[in-house]
Structure 1
Amino acid sequence: MRILVTGASGFVGCHVVTALLEKGHRVTAVARDPQRASQAPWHGRATFLAADIHAPGCAERLDASHFDAVVHLAWPGLPNYAALTHLDRTLPAECRFLGELVRAGVRQLLVSGTCFEYGLASGCLNESTPSQPVTAYGMAKNTLRGYLEILQKSHPFRLQWARLFYMHGRGQNPGSLLPQLDAALAGGQPVFNLSGGEQLRDYLPVEEVATRLVALLEHPGFDGIVNICSGKPISVRRLVEEHVAAVGGSIRFNFGHYPYPDYEPMAFWGDGTRFYHILNDSLRYSEHPLTGKPCL
């Protein structure tokens, strides 16, 4: 397939472009910063196009007729989830850009959504859980999805809305939890400050996230929302303790130093059943995503 990927030099984008190339797809990678793109693992293997997708006329320049599908991963302003720019600047620009791509002929569009669309819902969250975002970022993403669903009524296309949960791995923002922990270990810091650590979250390695997004793209018959998640809750305490053990480090955790975030429930994780149903027998797994007990 001929695939256009936006946000190609970002954390998820780098891994998605690499995974697409490994599957034999022809990729045009779009990013704003040529210097950052030159350091991406896919550099020299994918066709690179430097572009600001929110600039007027960008969609026309990309010429959607050249591609079988678009993977849209770009979104500025993260990880500041509360910034109002997500709503008053990014959202209108996203609607304009993606709307122009669809009107120009894109027939399959995979967009990265977020678990923040679920808001403060607790427990195991499936795709039918009501969307009640409480952050500007979650609200902007959820509104963009609504816009695209309305657009489908006048311009038919496949919309694959992939709700990402938490990720970790190479290329992650240095301000994220595990990169900060690695920096503390490398610097020989004796103590690492955290929140209470009892909150339950859903984590996947970013390489697995990329693999699942590519697999979803390769099933163009699917249209709708799908969670990209592990389906297995893990406490932040256990996550950091296991990470330190895995890298052979030693550090004392100061749990309770920071308050728990007020924009997240104490316990939530994704239900991955729909993703496995989409893939059906195309991928083989050693175990059910919810350890044999899906919460439906």
Structure 2
Amino acid sequence: MDTGSLLPAAHHQNRPAHTVKNVEASLEAFISNPHISVHHAANLFELNKSTVNRTLQDHKFYQYKLQTCQKLFDEDRACRRQFAEDEIILIESDRDHLQNLFFSDEAHFHIYGGVNRQNYWYWNEENPSCYAEEPLYSPCVTVWAAIGEHGIIGPFFFEGNVNSGNYLQLLQNEFWPALHGLVHIDHARFMQDGTPPDWGRAVCEWLSENFGDRWMGRDLPSMPWPARSPDLTPIDFFFWGYVKSKVYTTPIRDLDELRERIVTAIKGITVKTRYKAILGYRQRLHRCLELDGEHVEITYAP
């Protein structure tokens, strides 16, 4: 029977007419303003929060977290399309490519920079006006790692700022020996995103000498990594976010504890989770083509 209502008939049988009307109005409010909260809608339309939640669930409304991303320019989209197309062809024609590809990047971890703010909610009759103080300057560490199907290399911590000199030392003294223990070195592939330390002349010469044309980086003729594309690499779209979600569960005392938590979090990444992250790279390449080079939006669930 057509009731002329947005709600399924089963959901407004035996309900007072004003309740049905208010439920419909609450749904229309979410359609017109996706940022409205359940609590606000319940108060506005004199409904229980459970009623509003159930209405949203019945109509397949889901809660999403707004994410920030780097602005893409027209030339970026063209480069991303071309890269995705070339990579897909390479992956499908050479099974060694993705199997032996290691994605690398560094990240900054602040002592006070990432406590899970879900733990900061308060239930009270009135706004308690409570604040969690954080210092203006938060001590931090810079950490580098690489992830591939065969394993994780790192983490390695930098003392002070990262530059092409200490980055090259890391590649030579830490990364290269570890890589030998995971894959046949003649088949190994390497990716870096092209930040200034990555692009030092000595760094590029060393990579070309040891990897030949089997490494990705900024403006390379053979495998140019597209600018502003952290959404395509597992080290960024999965790895560092996953590690930070484990590191910042509770407040951190000092840098030593911060380093320990980073090491523990990385050791806790399972083989299955790592495989899913690498598989996500291939999926995102296809998605990038579908979106004509735009930012990729795929939810990754480890």
Q: What TM-score bracket applies, with the shorter chain setting the length?
A: under 0.3
- TM-score after normalising by structure 2: 0.25
Relative contact order (alpha carbons < 8 A, sep ≥ 6): 1 or 2 greater?
2
Q: Which has the larger radius of gyration?
A: 2
- TM-score after normalising by structure 1: 0.25
